[in-house]
Structure 1
Amino acid sequence: MPSQRKSKRRGQPYRPLDMQRLASVPRVVTRGGQEYHVQSLTGSAGQKSYVCPGCGHAVEANTPHIVAWPLNAPFGVDTGVRARRHWHNYCWESGTTGGY
């Protein structure tokens, strides 16, 4: 017996892909021969601030920033996730990995 469900998208106008939302999807970036998981965060009020390993200054809670951690940590995946670092966008893009 055929399904009677209707698609929720039929008849709705086309919506272009929101590239800003895709920026928050973790991706793998190679830097200095090491692979890193990298994720963009928009920042939100009420969260704690972090110290950027690139410049040593605070990454405030409400500031858009990058979170990066090694893909293949020397002592396993759990170590890599615990090694997450919050970077200013500029500091990460400048290409240094001084925090690792």
Structure 2
Amino acid sequence: MSVSPRKTRRPRPSAPAAPLGPERIEEWPDGDWVIRPVPGAAATKAYRCPGCDQEIYPGTAHVVVWPNHAGVASRRHWHTVCWQRRLQRRPG
């Protein structure tokens, strides 16, 4: 009886994450905000946009935003257009 050699599977190296865009600070009437673009290739999870309350699907380019005076724990993921038009929205 012959025994076949045991094949061991090596884990494949994970693909490197797509780089995020550079952080920048934008001055708005409601304060200074840190903005970081997220390219579609780096967007691997779904998020809820606080501007339109719709889902940002994986693979969708968007921005991550947080107040300059706060830390990244305050960050929120926004559709880029929702972020740009947020001060034009009517309350409620």
State the TM bucket, normalised to the shorter chain. 0.5 to 0.7
For the pair 1:90 / 2:81, whether they are aligned, the reply is yes
Question: Once the two structures are superposed, what CA deviation does each residue of 1:29-64 show, in whole Å capped at 9, x if it has no partner?
Answer: 122331110011112377210000100000111000
Could you tell me which runs of 5 or more consecutive residues in structure 1 were left unpaired when the two chains were aligned. Answer: 1-20, 74-79
Corresponding pairs, count:
71
Aligned-residue RMSD, C-alpha? 2.6
Q: Please list every run of at least 4 consecutive aligned residues from structure 1 whose deviation after the TM superposition is greater than 4 angstroms.
A: none
Counterpart in 2 of 1:28?
Answer: 25
Give SS of 1:29's match.
Answer: strand
TM-score by length of 2: 0.65
Residues 53, 46 of structure 1: CA spacing in aligned structure 2 closer, same or farther, 3 A cutoff? closer
Alignment counterpart, residue 64 of structure 1, candidates 61, 65, 74: 61
Percent identity for Structure 1 against Structure 2: 34
Return the alpha-carbon distance in structure 2 between the equivalents of residues 43 and 34 of structure 1: 27
Q: Which has the larger radius of gyration?
A: 2
Q: Report the residue type matching 1:94 in the other structure.
A: R
TM-score normalised over the length of structure 1: 0.61
